[in-house]
A and B are shown apart, each in its own frame.
Chain A
């Protein structure tokens, strides 16, 4: 199966933080949720893919091509929705699009206009009058209108009202009806991805914690709950992370757990993220 995105051993060091050993792939035709707490390195990774900064080491291939040598061709086929969409503030939407569209070989004007209508955006609105949500919608309209096969989205739902967030997911699912398309969806709001993502890559403190099919994640991880006396030292060691209060505890295990009086439940992506990052660690 062809991978639309291949990242190997990516490394970038900053003063306060290092991105290290980042390796994962996104096969064509699937949605990957790229999750992690704020500051974990999600945005940095995306910036490295888009060549907004250079890595210290490692390789990135998009559509099977080196992302630096074939940057222009690759960018033709990528739609990027960035966290803080920026444009030339004093221009109208029409003018701004007029600057952008000539650069794309596969620009589809009718489709673009259709998206504008769906998103309630008017041609003559000045960019500087747009709210954050509207800017994201505009960025989305642009990203979807030039035949992009890979959509990279950095926190696209932040700043969007819940109604549009659902609509956004529906739009993405429409995009995925074409088997050639893939979506890399980076977010810390995992409820959007719980159902829809095919793959999950979880990054924390600059390192990849896991990267696998979402369904297998749910089969592998289990939420363990019990009363205070049920949390034995042995159990604690077996848990990835645990959170204790006066009524009992809640923890995450990455393998089957057996125990008297324990309640086992299916964790959400948020639980998986939480216990890897915040819950008290076991023994090690």
Chain B
């Protein structure tokens, strides 16, 4: 059932063409119109920006309420489905970033930036969703916004640091850590007391 929820959310996202275009296009537009807009960090920026665009509409209590009222699923189904959906979008965006890297010429970017950003992205979505489930909507929104800004700054800062992105951790380790963190937040999210 959680898979069904994930598919439903993905279809909901793809049905909302306008939001999707806005979310995915904005980083690219920045890139085109702001020359020097942190080129090296771009793939990472893309991933994190997409997270920002996606999450704001899915983790507040109103959305969760919709998910539970309009659909004959349990809260557990919905939360797991939500996490899966976000992992899917982060994964998909990472692929997009990879493609972009290949097309622009891989030499322009720090090595390993995509797998490691994927790890960061997974960690971030997990954390933000858990926050959305535990904290009140207004507070969660602010906290999550700050987290995204922090993350963006972090990757931009790291990307100018050298030829390897986050040299202190290997790609597999970063991806795994991200996945692990995501899973931990999933469990935390499932433990949150429902208050809709």
Contacts and interface: CB of A to CB of B under 8 A. Distances in A.
Contact present between A and B (CB < 8 A): yes
Contacts of A53: 194-196
Nearest to A90: B16
Contacts of A78: 72
Contacts of B196: 47, 52-53
B12 A91 contact: yes
Contacts of A92: 15
A91 B16 contact: yes
A47 B75 CA distance: 13
Interface residues of A, number: 27
Contacts of B57: 88
- Which of under 10, 10 to 19, 20 to 34, or 35 or more describes the interface residues of B? 20 to 34
B16 A52 contact: no
Contacts of B1: 72
Nearest to B5: A103
Interface stretch (A93-101, A182-190, A195-203, A218-226): A93-101
A72 B72 contact: yes
A147 B62 CA distance: 26
B4 A103 contact: yes
User: Across chains A and B, which 6 residue pairs bring their CB atoms closest together, nearest first?
Assistant: A75-B72, A52-B196, A95-B15, A90-B16, A86-B66, A71-B74
Interface of A: 47, 50-54, 71-72, 75-76, 78, 80, 82, 86-88, 90-92, 95, 98-100, 102-104, 142
Given A53-B194, A75-B71, A75-B73, 16 more contacts: A50-B68, A51-B74, A54-B193, A72-B1, A76-B72, A86-B63, A86-B69, A88-B66, A90-B16, A91-B16, A92-B15, A95-B12, A95-B15, A102-B8, A103-B8, A104-B72
27 contacts: A47-B196, A50-B68, A52-B68, A52-B194, A52-B196, A53-B196, A54-B194, A72-B1, A72-B77, A75-B72, A75-B73, A76-B72, A78-B72, A86-B62, A86-B63, A88-B12, A88-B15, A90-B16, A90-B18, A91-B16, A95-B12, A95-B15, A99-B11, A100-B71, A102-B4, A103-B8, A142-B70
